[in-house]
Amino acid sequence: MCLTIPKKVVKINGNSVVVETHGGDRQTLKTLIELAIGDFVLSQQNIVIEKIDKHYAKEIFKIIKQ
């Protein structure tokens, strides 16, 4: 089983999005999911696999900090 950490969408360019990790790193991902800037996503192998609720993402960040 793989673990993926939520990433925040900061830029959209067609079927590609730039996301930012909790640590501030950025990467470009491919997506077929309709997204907006500020959305949180889960990804695997540079592909967005799921959009997640903002509150759920923040709970995950809180757990990681502990």
For residue 2, the model assigns a pLDDT of: 67
For residue 26, the model assigns a pLDDT of: 97
Tell me which architecture the domain covering 7-65 has in CATH: Roll (2.30)
For residue 61, the model assigns a pLDDT of: 87
For residue 4, the model assigns a pLDDT of: 84
Question: What is the per-residue DSSP string for 8-45?
Answer: EEEEEETTEEEEE-TTS-EEEEE--S---TT-EEEEET
pLDDT tens for 8-63 read 999 999 999 999 988 899 999 999 999 999 999 999 999 999 999 999 999 988 88
- 57 φ, ψ (degrees, to nearest 5): -60, -45
